[in-house]
Structure 1
């Protein structure tokens, strides 16, 4: 009997037990549909009165910003360095624009104690001088479209090892230099302050700190015009500055060869009445008395001229030194843009700066004078960088564009807390400082940007 015959016999004998194939497929489809409907309409999970919310990835939830902590005594706020505040040491993304943004609340305390940092001169020790509100300490600059990494003392000291950074300019340059020393000191690396030469010491205008274990030096040189000048002396009957536009201030320029980074900051002194000299003769005057009979000259033009000549001379001298020593060690030259003041009235008549919070973005426009001074710095630095030849140049020029962020901080000045016992003038008013910055304060952000600048 063949195999085919056996199969046919089996199918006949079991015909009553098997369903036709078409009917079997039909019933299987009905069963699958029933199961699908059962899972669609019946929730197999147990009922709960508190189901977790479903977060859709394309919906951004708005969370309230952190609020500054309630009032604390200054020492309580500043004494303990936050263990969780480990500074980001990575550089910010290339092309990050720090010049525009807003101040956002930051509950973290500052890196250093404003009552104990020895680098701070009395006029900037706001907490030590009796300022009891602490809200101005708890703000962070947030650029638009990128992040500004927190200041890292360790990263800056690594870069500064065997190097020298010098701050050159007016009292705002000194303010920033003191801020940097305090920030670096927060790493438990204490600097030794060294005396400058006797002829240079002038009420703290020339100072130098050395972090010995890093062989790192921070200096400040007083040079409010960057070029050679003699400041006004009201008590001596000289109500105007004498500025020599074609001569350089050798008190700092002659030390250029020992410096690896120069941070320039000037502008405020150019608004004061001044006589301008060039080639041994008077070439103009700003806001001088009519009896002097000098041609009125825009202080914007004088400021641009001084900045331009200074940047050209720095590059020339560095190229000359590199040729002599047969080396092309890079030098960083950064210039801070104009930092606005916030006197609500005439500064010399006791005008205060009473605000306790930053302005919101767009709430306080930069004034015309401040905008012009900023524009001059940006244009001259850009031109200097172009002349230097780009990334491979021996001198790297950069602008610290701080005008907008400074303009939004009317709360960050000493105000009446520029001294412990405010002096009442003959008119019964207390003098306010609405130009310089409390320390800690907004000026520390200048050095956050400086760190990113030197890291390149």
Structure 2
């Protein structure tokens, strides 16, 4: 059986067997066919370029649509936050450039008085430079509510007065207050505020009634002067006892008592106005050009607004002529003008209750009178005209008229004298009681003038 199997298997192989040379040839042909079939199956012909271009265009359209949507969303998003202080500290140029944009100037004239529980920095016994007539506490004024108010501007912040900050600015500098008794009132307020931090010393006094004085803060090598000049220009003051009832003011001449000292001053605060309301004859070019309250003289009666305007404008022009153009960056001289500070008489000056209010007016409760508004406008316009006229000088207005107008409670009233109702010399023999409704108690609203001054000088 096995033999038959082998025989059959051998027979079949013999029938299928080919010659060796022919077998190799067929095998090569078969391999070529298999290779060709493999190529067709696994390496198809490339597609045409048209679909590729269409796909690229479509991708660009999608990208454009996505970009447009993203941009639209970014436009709806809020702007990025301002750079952090740390960015500036690390020297980020973009952040530093953005922070360098200065804020708009603060309008301190628009605001209201709000309660403030903080006590004053000084009082009637702790400060020795308060003029006797403004030391309301020492003279027995019983109420103290006028101490506890602060001025709050509507659109910006007015920081509380910092003696340290002011003395840092005043280091190695000379500040002068020039003008009438309101200028002196503001100067004495500043002296008391600064003395709460550093002792002050009177180093010079020349003239009666403390009209020319100089104080030193030796710890800071700082000087504050008070210079009397109620018209800023040259004038011969009235002398009632000598029968001279009118002031004679020379608009074309300057008061060298202070003007000649301005070269040694780093900053000056000028404050005038109330003396122009007194009887006065105004001269210009050797002739009388205006006369106020002079019915007893052979001159035409005029108002005092034109004379006040000429005095202020000419003074600033002369300051610019003499002192402009000097100094470099950071060395400019500052000349600030305090605007008119209104009085609050509600009756005769020598009658009880001339200025009896015990709290500030509310916003809108008390408007500016015509005189106060005109005097303020004159100063603001003069400063605006002088600003930027020369290098080395910076002119500024301390616009206190509105805030002062709302403080009828801040005047000495009858307490311009000690114990006015108790036989201490205030009440006259005929029952009249003199009242001061022009100047300010110290401490009091006048301290706010110097809060604004500090922000102006910095």
How does 1:89-108 map onto structure 2 within 5 Å?
Answer: 94-108=104-118
Please point out which of 199, 207, 217 is paired with 1:190.
199
Q: Aligned partners of 1:224, 1:169: CA distance in 2, in Å?
A: 5
Q: Work out the CA distance in 1 between the residues paired with 2:203 and 2:288.
A: 39
Highest Rg: 1 or 2?
Answer: 2
- The corresponding residue for 2:141 is 131
- CA deviations on 1:198-250 (whole Å, 9 max, x unpaired) are xx422111111100111101111110000011121111111111001011111
* SS class of match (2:168): helix
* Matches of 2:104 and 2:168, distance apart in 1: 21
Once the two structures are superposed, the pairs formed by residues 342-421 of structure 1 within 5 Å of their partners are 342-347=344-349, 352-388=354-390, 393-421=391-419
1:142 maps to: 152
Corresponding position of 1:275: 281
Q: What is the match of residue 261 of structure 1?
A: 267
Pairing 1:12-411 to 2, within 5 Å after superposition? 94-187=104-197, 189-196=198-205, 200-290=206-296, 292-319=297-324, 322=326, 329-347=331-349, 352-388=354-390, 393-411=391-409
**Could you tell me how far 1:289 is from its partner in structure 2?**
2.3
Contact 1:246 1:279 in 2 (8 A): yes
Structure 1 residues 228 and 293, CA, compared in 2 at 3 Å: closer, same or farther?
Answer: same
Corresponding residue of 1:433:
436
Aligned partners of 1:349, 1:93: CA distance in 2, in Å?
Answer: 49
Q: Distance in 1 between matches of 2:128 and 2:118?
A: 22
Instruction: Please state whether the residue corresponding to 1:102 is helix, strand or coil.
Output: strand
Using the TM superposition, give the Cα deviation of residue 386 of structure 1 relative to its aligned residue in structure 2, in angstroms. 4.0
The TM-score normalised by the length of structure 1 is: 0.75
Residues 426 and 245 of structure 1: is their aligned pair in 2 closer, same or farther, counting only changes over 3 Å?
A: farther
Q: CA deviation at 1:426?
A: 4.6
Measure the CA separation in 1 of the matches of 2:242 and 2:401: 34
Rounded Cα–Cα distance in structure 1 between residues aligned with 2:126 and 2:366: 34
Any conservation in 2 of the 1:93–1:146 contact (CA below 8 Å)? no
What is the distance in 2 between the residues matched to 1:344 and 1:220?
Answer: 31
CA distance in 2, matches of 1:431, 1:407: 21
For residue 447 of structure 1, report the CA deviation from its aligned partner. 0.2
Aligned residues of 1:351 and 1:431 also touching (Cα < 8 A)? no
Select the residue among 449, 453, 457 that pairs with 1:454: 457
8 Å Cα contact 1:231/1:241 also seen in 2 = yes
Equivalences, count? 352
State the distance in 2 between where 1:350 and 1:260 align.
Answer: 44
Please give the alpha-carbon distance, in whole angstroms, between the structure 2 residues aligned to 1:347 and 1:264.
Answer: 27
How far apart in 2 are the matches of 1:449 and 1:327?
23
Is 1:443–2:455 an aligned residue pair? no
Q: Distance in 2 between matches of 1:155 and 1:233?
A: 42
RMSD: 1.7
CA distance in 2, matches of 1:146, 1:328: 25
- Seen in structure 2, the aligned counterparts of structure 1 residues 349 and 225 have a Cα distance that, compared at 3 Å, is farther
Structure 2: 5+ residue stretches without partners: 1-101, 421-425
- Runs of 4+ off more than 6 Å: 325-328
Post-superposition Cα deviations, 1:110-143, rounded to whole Å, max 9, x if no partner, equal 1112222011111111101111211000001000
Deviation at 1:429, TM superposition (A): 1.4
1:186 positional shift: 1.1
Whole-Å Cα distance in 1 between the matches of residues 218 and 209 of structure 2?
24
Secondary structure, counterpart of 1:417 in structure 2: helix
User: Where does the alignment leave 5 or more consecutive residues of structure 1 unmatched?
Assistant: 1-91
Distance 1:104 1:263, change over 3 A: same
Structure ranking higher in helix proportion: 2
**Aligned with 2:138: secondary structure?**
coil
Q: Structure 1 residues 293 and 123 mapped into 2: Cα distance closer, same or farther (>3 Å)?
A: same
The DSSP-based 3-state class of the residue aligned with 1:313 is: helix
